[in-house]
Structure 1
Amino acid sequence: VSISFATGYDIGFSSIAATPEDLTRKDPVSLKTCIKNFGSLPASAYSVRFFYDGNRNGHSDPAEQFSEYQGNVLAPRDSITCTALHAPVTAGENSFAALIEFPPDENRTNDSAWINVMVGSITSDILINEIMYCPAGDEPEWVELFNTTSDTIDIKKWRISDSNTSIKSWITRERKAVPPRSFMVVAKDASFAEFHPGVPFVAADFSAFNNFTPDAVVIYDNHGNAIDSVMYTPSWGGQNGKSLERVDQEWSSQQSINWGSSRDSAGSTPGFINSIARLDYDIEIGHPCQRDIIVNGKAVPVVLFSVYNIGRHGVDTILLRFYTDINNNAQPEQSEFLQTLRSDRPLPAGDSMEFSESLPQLVSGENTVIILADWPRDTNIKNNRATVSVKRGFEPRRIVINEIMYDPLPGQTEWFELLNRSDDSIDLANWIFHDKPGSTSMNSFELSSQPFVIESGGYAVIAADSTLFQMYPDLAGSESRDRIRILNRSTGLSFNNDGDDLILKDLTGQVIDSIAYIPAWHHPGVEDTRGRSLERINRDMDSNDPRNWSTCVNMAGGTPGGINSVRTTGTNSSSMISLSPNPFSPDGDGFEDFCIIRYNLSSLAATLNIKIYDIKGRLVRLLANGEQTGPQGEMIWDGYDDNRQRARIGVYVIFLEATDRTNSSVATAKAVSVVAVKL
């Protein structure tokens, strides 16, 4: 048995619709409702209120009401149409509601009506901003979208296709908001997150793009309208794991000049500003280079570079900061700060400005200089930084040639030794040495392409091959090996036995030390010098003074990596002339074989004569004859006379005469030296 009751008062909605059907975010929304009196009594004094669910909470909040209709008398079974107009709303799915207010109403179930309205976008609301159509390895293909508007856009029920537009794939069927001026990536699968963690994306199983032939990317809104499309060819860029990036969002998507390969070190920039993007405000530092200037006779490094305004608008003053990356962490730190430089004029859009900045604070060797350009309104700071390797030369004789084996025994190798006489550690990476240049060529070798650091007072040994370790087994230890470079040259180092040049140059090509040795530099008392090195006697004296070299007296024939067997050092003295050691014994045993004659003159520049007499006043040795000198210096007497005969045991008078080159005044001094023998 069915029993029905007729209500006296019952008005409600019979329909609700939104027009136009193909709404876009620029169109006002017109809501049309039909209200019917389902009751048996006339209805009056009712109203209809309209709401836009802007906060998307599914409720008709009072603040969301945008229109109201006051109804007149509505007879039973009669109906009336009510309309309301709402301003344009954001693209995507939007909800509207209509509510009837009629206090006597006996049936509230039909007093409300809801409608979901799909609002479409207009062309270029969402742009295709970056395409990874030829990824490397297992990275999936992907397309980056950019919301160009100031409103959030819901891309629910958007689709994507390649050049075959008859096959469109869903981007997402769920609500997905793209905030204003923000990015959203459409990736072929969810593995995108492994390659670009933290970048917002949706996974969509779209058709694969062509890697080596032309293809297209087309995106469609919720009405099926094409919002943006790109017809690309591989010649535009984007090959070998690099994405194809858009240059300017204001230029056409179909222009080849508006696309290019990503310049980012990672090969792409999903979720971020494109590496080649043209922005409103964007300055870029060009590739810097080095040039040296001479200041007070010394080379000072200068960095040359340009700053480009690649943005759409001009910029005012630019602040440039310079750092030296001391700890090699590729980050500018306050402790590494060098100096600042400020531009002296505005920089119009599309223009550039050249800079030249000297950096006298840089230390000798290779310096990594970081340049930062600072302008507060810049919207892309990735290109505000440049790095340049700046090489600064070393002062001469910081490193000296200390020992050379130019005539080894058969089956042994040529080698030479360097000594760091400076107070700092020095890296010999990219230093070279060569012999005497010939008419057409010379033998040139790099000491090391890797860091090769020699501490203050330390030695470095350069050998042609590893037979060095057979000659000197003590060098085979791990600590010694760090100071040795084996060049693996079966033909040796090309030293001539009858004399040659050995020239040492730093990483800038500046000559640091050189010798032009001849066999006569060997000790006259050594008949066979084969397999014996030439050793430097005093590290502070002239490298090309024959008196500063002699034959190694060590049983091994050389002392690579250690103190020279004939090494002698002078003693500091304020006297005009001093001798050390005194007595000395020139017997070739490596102990006190040489006498260092140290002098201190009042003249800044003088002509020097040093004569040695025996106890009877006979001239034994003319040690210095008209040599030019400064106020201080040293000479070595090896205990031999001018005929290269060893001086007899006894007392000798060292007579020094210095003529001032400016006023011709003459200063003289005498000292007594004793030639002895070891008991």
Structure 2
Amino acid sequence: IIILKNNKGKEIHKLRYDFNWYRDSEKRKGGYTLELIDPESICLGFQNWTASRDSSGGTPGKKNSVYQTDYKPEVLKLKLVEIIDSLRITLTFNKSADSVKASVNSNYFLNNGVGNPINSKISGPDFNQVMLTFSEPLSKGYTYRITASNVSDCKNTIIPADFNSLEFTISRNISKNDILITEILFNPRAGGSDFVEILNKSDYPLDLKDLSIARMIKDSINSIQQLSKKQVFIEPGNYIALTPDPDNIKKEYTIKDTASIIKIDPFPIFNDDAGTAILISKGQKIDQLSYSDKMHFQLLKTREGVSLERSKLNRPNNDPGNLRSATSASGFATPGYKNSQYSDDPVFQENFKLASKTFSPDNDGYEDLLEMNYQFPGPGKIANVSIFNVHGVLIKKLLKNFILNNEGSFIWDGYNEQGQPAPGEAPAQVLHRGERLGHLAVGHEQDVERHPGVEVAQPSGLLDPGRLLHHPHLRELRAQLIQVAAAGHV
């Protein structure tokens, strides 16, 4: 700040300058003065200053090289609204405003039944910020519009109607599962960068300032990092990828909207083999994702640079098969937009239903996994799930004494007990249910002795309907049997 006083100590003029006034990155490095443009408009502040155009770098004792008496600066505009608390907001104009008019309460109006502020305080020496205080707290989750009328710049030019209002939102508190972790790249290519993708699953804009990302190691949360120091909203249904190096992510992968990639620095370090990412808001756990490189598609040539994507948003991340390798067609990651492995939950009435009657485990993003969905009116069900081929030979024991949620799914990736791709035969799947959920099996009529109590459901094109067996103890459960025709290479 430079202050000019007369011989009696009275302040005549005061200037608080900034390097940004140069408007020239080279001249601001040194050797050039800042010059006043219009001496008759000193109230215009930083808009009335710029770097000297003189070849010597300045004009000491002479008329300024940028002197203009007819200089027409930019009109007054409302530039920014910042929320201080439930009662106060700060307005920022693009240049200095008249301090008297900017301090009149009736010159400001807030919609949604709020009205005029009870106090308007402008801040010097730039006089481009006004703090407004209201009598009643503003409501969370509401979007407001503030209008500044009859406010002028120091030359008495009234702010135009096109630039005198702005909208802002009072964010709701972020609740559990309002924001989900939908994708993670934890093992980037050499020289690459991690990223964690999030999705606003709620119906409201949510403020990233209220959200932090961290990692969990042995039930201990550490490396907590706030996502934003200022108000930045993620709109309902929008995805955002968080990374320490947005430029690298934009270089390595297809990006649909650069605004969906946000830099977080420092960023939690996620191990290349396994770990847990967690979202926190005001001390509450919002969502977490535990990953392992063993979750990747087994036939990948390399796992470096391949993200794990959340397939079903309404299922927990730890549901078997809900985290899948991003498809090769997508470039092995989809930062900032819908996942390549995204799948809607089917609507069904039966206890069990296949998401599809076919599957081809080649990681092309289409029916890579055989998914068996279930739904019960209450908890307490236990499942043993096995896969047999059409000859009754065991292929894979999928689950053993697995406690079920009210709803969820079983996933088979097409691999046998030895971790090898199963032979290319179309399996039939059968439910065996006693007092609790029993085996999910496949087989022909002759397999009944090998698997007593099993009712065999016909896979399309494989069994004669006339040879379908009906076990007497399972007759009442016939509606719950799953009929599968799994084709393609399994």
Tell me the TM-score normalized by structure 2: 0.55
> How do residues 173-572 of structure 1 correspond to structure 2 at under 5 angstroms?
196=100, 266=121, 324=139, 326-328=142-144, 392-394=173-175, 396-437=176-217, 442-465=222-245, 466-472=247-253, 474-475=254-255, 480-489=257-266, 493-506=268-281, 508-554=282-328, 556-572=331-347
Q: CA deviation at 1:433?
A: 0.9
Which residue is equivalent to 2:382?
607
What is residue 423 of structure 2 aligned with on the other side?
Answer: 648
Superposed CA deviations along residues 144-186 of structure 1, whole A, max 9, x for unmatched, are xxxxxxxxxxxxxxxxxxxxxxxxxxxxxxxxxxxxxxxxxxx
**Structure 1 residues 391, 408: closer, same or farther in 2, change over 3 A?**
same
Where does residue 620 of structure 1 map in the other structure?
395
Could you tell me how far apart the structure 2 residues matched to 1:448 and 1:658 are? Answer: 54
CA distance in 2, matches of 1:539, 1:451: 26
Selected match of 2:355 from 565, 570, 580: 580
CA–CA distance in structure 2, aligned partners of residues 526 and 576 of structure 1: 34
Looking at structure 1, the residues matched to 292 and 137 of structure 2 have their Cα atoms a distance apart, in angstroms, of 49
**What does residue 673 of structure 1 align with?**
484
- Given that 2:320 and 2:410 are in contact with CA atoms closer than 8 Å, whether structure 1 keeps it comes out as no
How far has the Cα of 1:521 moved from its partner?
0.9
CA distance in 2, matches of 1:457, 1:659: 42
Secondary structure at the aligned position of 1:513 is classed as strand
Deviations 1:476-504 (A, max 9, x none): x6xx1222211255xx6411012111011
1:270-324 per-position Cα deviation (integer Å, ceiling 9, x unaligned): xxxxxxxxxxxxxxxxx9xxxxxxxxxxxxxxxxxxxxxxxxxxxxxxxx97651
Which piece of structure 1 moves more, 460-469 or 627-636? 627-636
Deviations 1:546-585 (A, max 9, x none): 4212222225221212332333334211012110121111
Q: Structure 1 residues 329 and 408 mapped into 2: Cα distance closer, same or farther (>3 Å)?
A: same
CA shift at 1:439, angstroms? 9.7
Is the radius of gyration larger for structure 1 or structure 2? 1
Judge conservation of contact 2:241–2:262 (CA < 8 Å) in 1: yes
Q: Which amino acid aligns with 2:139?
A: T
Q: Which residue of 1 aligns with 2:466?
A: none
1:484 counterpart letter in structure 2 = I
1:543 shift after superposition: 0.8
| Equivalent-residue separation in structure 1 for 2:416 and 2:382 (angstroms) | 22
Shift in Å at residue 423 of structure 1?
4.1
Offset at 1:455? 3.4
CA distance in structure 1 between the partners assigned to 2:405 and 2:343 by the alignment? 22
Native 8 Å contact 1:437 1:443 kept in 2: no
Amino acid at match of 2:227: L
Q: Which amino acid aligns with 1:549?
A: L
- Taking structure 1 as reference, are residues 136 and 367 closer, same or farther at Cα in structure 2, changes over 3 Å only? farther
- Are positions 1:590 and 2:365 aligned together? yes
* Per-residue deviation, 1:405: 0.8
| 3-state SS of paired residue (1:625) | strand
How many angstroms apart in 1 are the aligned matches of 2:392 and 2:349? 27
In structure 2, do the counterparts of structure 1 residues 635 and 569 end up closer, same or farther at CA, with 3 Å as the change threshold?
Answer: farther
| Percent pairwise identity | 23
For 1:511-541, what per-residue CA distance to the aligned partner results, in whole angstroms no more than 9, with x for missing partners? 1211221111111222421111112222222
Distance 2:12 2:283 in 1: 43
Distance 1:604 1:409, change over 3 A: closer
Find the residue that maps to 1:469 and give its secondary structure: helix
Name stretches of at least 5 consecutive residues in structure 2 with no aligned partner. Answer: 1-8, 15-97, 104-118, 124-132, 148-167, 438-473
Contact 1:613 1:654 in 2 (8 A): no
SS at match of 1:429: helix
670 and 328 in structure 1: CA distance in 2 versus 1, 3 angstrom threshold = same
Higher strand share: 1
Residues 198 and 625 of structure 1, relative CA distance in 2, 3 Å threshold: closer
Distance 1:265 1:195, change over 3 A: closer
What CA distance in whole angstroms lies between the structure 2 residues aligned with 1:267 and 1:428?
28
Name segments (4+ residues, structure 1) moved above 6 Å: 134-139, 438-441
Q: Could you say if the C-alpha distance between residues 678 and 638 of structure 1 is closer, same or farther in structure 2, counting changes exceeding 3 Å?
A: closer
User: Does the aligned pair in 1 maintain the 2:359–2:486 contact within 8 Å?
Assistant: yes
Contact 2:174/2:210 (<8 A) preserved: no
Tell me which residue corresponds to 2:44. Answer: none
Write out aligned runs for 1:92-103 (5 A).
Answer: none
Q: CA 1:443–1:471 in structure 2 vs 1: closer, same or farther (change >3 Å)?
A: same
Contact 2:328–2:363 (CA under 8 A) maintained in structure 1: no
Say if 1:414 and 1:493, in contact at 8 Å, map to a contact too.
no
1:83-162 equivalences under 5 Å are: none
**Separation in 1 of the partners of 2:403 and 2:219?**
32
Provide the rounded CA distance (Å) in 1 between the counterparts of 2:237 and 2:219.
Answer: 37
Could you say if the C-alpha distance between residues 198 and 450 of structure 1 is closer, same or farther in structure 2, counting changes exceeding 3 Å?
closer
Letter of the 1:677 counterpart: G
Report the CA distance between 1:330 and its aligned residue: 7.4
Does the CA-based 8 Å contact 1:408-1:414 persist in structure 2?
yes
**Partner secondary structure for residue 251 of structure 2:** helix
Structure 1, residues 196-251: CA drift from partner, whole Å, max 9, x if none? 5799xxxxxxxxxxxxxxxxxxxxxxxxxxxxxxxxxxxxxxxxxxxxxxxxxxxx
Aligned to 1:23: none
1:565 alignment partner AA: S
Distance 1:601 1:439 in 2: 31
- Give structure 1 stretches of 5+ with no counterpart: 1-133, 140-193, 200-263, 269-286, 288-319, 332-365, 369-389
Please report the RMSD computed on the Cα atoms of aligned residues, expressed in angstroms: 4.0
| Cα contact 1:604–1:631 (8 A) shared by 2 | yes
Cα distance in 2, alignment partners of residues 544 and 425 from structure 1: 27
Contact 1:610 1:657 in 2 (8 A): no
CA gap of 1:502–1:441, structure 2 versus 1, over 3 A, is closer
Q: Against the structure 1 CA distance between its residues 646 and 470, is the aligned structure 2 distance closer, same or farther, given a 3 Å change threshold?
A: same
Query: Which residue is equivalent to 1:226?
Result: none
Q: 2: CA distance between counterparts of 1:136 and 1:614? A: 94
Q: Is the 8 A contact 2:172 2:206 kept in 1?
A: no
CA distance in structure 2 between the partners assigned to 1:543 and 1:497 by the alignment? 18
